[in-house]
Amino acid sequence: MVNTSPERVFAVLADGWSYASWVVGASHIRDVDDGWPAAGTRIHHQVGPWPLDVKDVTWVHAVVPGRMLELHAKAWPLGEATVRLDLEPVDAVTRVTLTYELTAGPGRFVPRPVQSFLLGPRSVEMLSRLNDIAVRRRTTTVG
């Protein structure tokens, strides 16, 4: 559970520049396409520790503002993955369901239960980071 509204959680997801703050493994944002998180838009980022980081791109496959974001991400060295975040209001908090499916490369041959087991700790950390940002971030205006 994330201790705030789905709108506040989605505001973090909709801020492409915050991606490396909550996605485990992403280390630097190089650019965010105009219109993020509309379907087809991309985040240009780096993955891994410097100086061994790799330039990468993640793009939006589908979006329902305030409720769902589905991303296509590279999952080196396992291949590529579909990552989906579903947001569901529950009283004054948000249930965030994070699912992965390895869709290309050698990882696609790993059974789904094994994928879930291996990616579980990463998911817990990502949701913890997302919670911290969504709950504590202040909205500011520039002007």
pLDDT in tens, 50-90: 888 889 999 999 999 999 999 999 876 778 899 999 999 99
Q: What is the residue whose two structure tokens read 């579980």?
A: 120
Q: How confident is the model at residue 126 (pLDDT cuts 50, 70, 90)?
A: very high
- Bridging pattern class, strands 26-32 and 42-47: antiparallel
Can you give the pTM of this predicted structure?
0.89
Q: What CATH superfamily is the domain 6-136?
A: START domain (3.30.530.20)
pLDDT tops 80 at residue 142: no
**Domain extents for the chain?**
6-136
CA distance 16 to 13: 7
CA distance 141 to 132: 21
CA distance 105 to 72: 13
